[in-house]
Structure 1
Amino acid sequence: MAMTPLQASAQEADTYRQLKLFGEVFERVRADFVEEVSDQELIEAAVRGMLNHLDPHSGYLDPDSFREMRTQTRGEFGGLGIEVTMENGVVKVVSPIDDTPAYRAGVEAGDFITHIDGEQVMGLTLSEAVDRMRGPVDSPITVTIRRGEQEPFDLEIVRDIIKVQSVRSRVEGNIGYLRVTSFSEQTTPGLEEAVAEIEAELGDDLQGYVLDLRNNPGGLLEQAISVTDLFLDRGEIVSTRGRHDEDSQRWNATAGDDIEGLPMVVLINSGSASASEIVAGALQDHRRAIVMGTTSFGKGSVQTVIPLGAEGAMRLTTARYYTPSGRSIQAMGIEPDILVEQATVTTPEQQRQRREADLRRHLDGEEAPETPAAPEDEEAVPEVILPEPEADGDEEAAEIIEDYQLARALDLLRGLALFNGRIVN
């Protein structure tokens, strides 16, 4: 409903009163704070506070952080190799990046970093904490980790240049395994190359693919769309809805399926966020793939990076993502078609994993439609009873225990191959 001129005038007057309050506080701090603080520091702190108050993903990027962000999207950056957010005043690890110093040191998704080189993280902004974790290549850093109900412990990590190979692949019997660790500018070309190599190796014996998106924190929206388009022949991939109707956008698949309709299993877990959830949600809604694992993180919001003066930028949440059936990902995540927890050698007491819905000031989610719309002229995924995995010898059994979710995904694809009458060697 449009405001009357009187209401608009009253709102404008209230805004000026609030800006006057800001000016008064600014001048008093500038004049009377126990130590001298520059105008730039005060204004940047005010901007950070305003944006950080909105939701966990909006924020201010100073020139150094903005340059770092642009470097990350190109797939190469310096640091420890972790995707982080801020929660309850400390740094929370969304996921470690494969084959990076943090990953090799044993950092896990859901860990909290409470101290950096012995200094408390509490009281720092996320940008300040990230700055302290940066440093010269080959220099050590000690982070204090709080994990579940365990006593806090220290990890020493040696900083390195992080060159992210966003796509890894291999052959598992007659099945192609595709691991996507992030969505950078290198992802779609890397995935196309991996598919071509697997097809060349297996030829007509190829039975299907596992697309592994576990602990993938996301990345570029355009890459999530192009990756999904590799496996869809038609239909909507994702839509975004902002505050205003004119801000809504939809992206659709183009003709052509790079793997020619072969069965797919997509693996997700609580570390699969944002772009990963777009891919999993679209392939699930179109019945193009079976999603397996545990519920994803639930980051279904769109951040727009807006350059500001002096080479800085602001990251502002401007819209929500929706899957083709109209489901909101925000604070809900993608529920797998087949729930498979990751197995370990021991059976510890299960700890609840933190997700987007647990973050302070997270955007509310929206109820999903009662019945997700299935694309026309597509068959439903046949129900397959998974056989128990069999292992020949201790070595194979150990591998299955090490990655139980992948083992079950491979079993499912082999079962589908049998169901479809394919020859299994």
Structure 2
Amino acid sequence: MKRFAVFASVAATALLLSGPAVTEKSSDTYKQLDLFGAVFERVRSSYVDKVTDKKLIESAINGMLQSLDPHSSYMDAESFKEMQVQTKGEFGGLGMEVTLDKGVVKVVAPIDDTPAAKAGIQAGDYITHIDGKSVVGWTLKEAVDKLRGPVDTKVTIKVKRGEKDPFDVTLTRAVITVKSVRSRIEGNIGIIRITSFTEQTDMGVREALATFKQKLGDKWQGIVLDLRNNPGGLLDQAISVSDEFLDAGEIVSTRGRDGKVTSRFNAKKGDGAEGKPIVVLINTGSASASEIVAGALQDHRRALVMGTQSFGKGSVQTIVPLGSQGAMRLTTARYYTPSGRSIQAVGVTPDITVEQGKFEAAANGELRRERDLKGALTNPDDKKADESKPGESKPEAKPGEAKPEAKPGEKKDAAPADYQMERALDMLKAIALYEARKAQR
């Protein structure tokens, strides 16, 4: 137990050098270290299975950090490296999102313009073998580690697709850029979906804004910023994304142990959205960096926040490298929105609460309306409800008759797949209509 003895001695010496004012505290701390040493030695010598010193020490460190709060933790060298890969948003791999299903690896979706997509890998494919080894019994991490690897190296996977016989596909790994930002245009409204805040996020948002300006021009009516189910990520990226939509003012501040402001981040001049109306969508899966963006835009009244209450993670974690031994993730501050509110354990409250509800359909599959309700009053001014104009057929089929089929290319009346998104789009359309009519006065 020489290594621990040296550690305890050094710790005790450091405590004693801090001065007589803390001698009593130093003594108590030394006793606790002595207790730890006694437990360590007893486990080391008497535990039913042999355990390495490294495992015991790492477990003790992790236990100490995890007892502080849910977000502080220890990462060994391998875990630290994996975290760096994820936040950089680039790694050597095949370019497909995977999960475990029925004991094997299932492809959720291939990423556009990657080796997997170019090789014809499809969503729903099952990967049963990697380089000739069955994946049955593997964890998802083990499978992902085998699929990833140095750029330009090859890997062979066995694919099971539907009822077809399994077949082998050999792919060459390439640098995969994880797209945390996806965008599209609906009518005259730009939609930006951010799934996480990585090193590529702000760049992706700027590219989306440039596309909206180019394609929509003067017809551009607004933006939906979709932060639902976004668990957060890099603080600097949350600040940069917020800055894209703010012309001035504070974005976020952090306060440490004594409650004093430790850092304050302000927006730089220039609004990338050119003042266009913004709706931010959040839900209970929106956390941390997502809440920073939503809170900043809400406090500055730059955006209307819609959806449901966010997660409520208002703490800041600092990654502290520990040489070659990995790193620790330590909670070092709480963050506050521009108005001075802490979101910790509370979350961002939407300006307009919109649940991801479902439409109730009538028995015939039509969307239910007032006239569908039993005993509903008739409208004396609505002749169309009871009769059709001469020469016109009634829109509703008679009992026993089949409903007319939709014309080719015509969509049937159905509930939107994403109710919250539909309401966000409706809000922006309404704002645009109101502004247009106000300008005509």
CA 1:117–1:11 in structure 2 vs 1: closer, same or farther (change >3 Å)? farther
Secondary structure in 2 aligned to 1:320? strand
Matched, 1:53 2:67: yes
Match for residue 407 of structure 1? Answer: 422
Shift of 1:8: 2.2
Secondary structure in 2 aligned to 1:36? coil
Match of 2:180 among 152, 166, 172: 166
Match for residue 300 of structure 2? Answer: 286
Shift of 1:395: 3.6
Shift of 1:38: 1.2
Match of 1:300 among 306, 314, 318: 314
CA distance in 2, matches of 1:394, 1:329: 46
For 1:1-400, list aligned pairs within 5 A: 8-76=22-90, 131=141, 134-137=144-147, 163-244=177-258, 248-344=262-358, 395=411, 397-398=413-414, 400=415
Match for residue 111 of structure 1? Answer: none
CA contact (8 A) 2:98 2:109 kept: no
CA 1:324–1:183 in structure 2 vs 1: closer, same or farther (change >3 Å)? same
Secondary structure in 2 aligned to 1:421? helix
CA contact (8 A) 1:236 1:252 kept: yes
CA distance in 2, matches of 1:191, 1:98: 22
CA distance in 1, matches of 2:300, 2:412: 34
CA contact (8 A) 1:417 1:423 kept: no
Please give the per-residue CA displacement for 1:362-414, whole angstroms capped at 9, x wherever unaligned.
Answer: xxxxxxxxxxxxxxxxxxxxxxxxxxxxxx9984754x531010100010001
Match for residue 370 of structure 1? Answer: none
CA 1:139–1:17 in structure 2 vs 1: closer, same or farther (change >3 Å)? farther
Shift of 1:34: 1.6
Matched, 1:418 2:433: yes
RMSD: 3.3
Secondary structure in 2 aligned to 1:204? helix
CA contact (8 A) 1:182 1:216 kept: yes
CA contact (8 A) 1:291 1:338 kept: yes
CA 1:118–1:7 in structure 2 vs 1: closer, same or farther (change >3 Å)? farther
CA distance in 2, matches of 1:334, 1:255: 26
CA contact (8 A) 1:343 1:402 kept: no
Shift of 1:327: 1.1
Aligned residues: 323
Shift of 1:418: 1.2
**Structure 2: gaps of 5 or more residues:** 1-18, 100-107, 117-122, 125-134, 148-155, 159-172, 362-406
CA 1:170–1:396 in structure 2 vs 1: closer, same or farther (change >3 Å)? farther
TM-score, structure 2 as length reference: 0.66
**Structure 1: gaps of 5 or more residues:** 84-96, 106-115, 120-128, 141-159, 348-391
Secondary structure in 2 aligned to 1:420? helix
Report which structure shows greater RCO (CA 8 Å, sep ≥6).
1
CA contact (8 A) 1:343 1:401 kept: no
CA distance in 2, matches of 1:130, 1:315: 23
CA 1:54–1:394 in structure 2 vs 1: closer, same or farther (change >3 Å)? farther
Please give the per-residue CA displacement for 1:319-365, whole angstroms capped at 9, x wherever unaligned.
Answer: 11111111111111101001001124679xxxxxxxxxxxxxxxxxx
TM-score, structure 1 as length reference: 0.69
The percent of aligned pairs where both chains have the same amino acid is 59
CA distance in 2, matches of 1:26, 1:342: 51
Secondary structure in 2 aligned to 1:211? strand
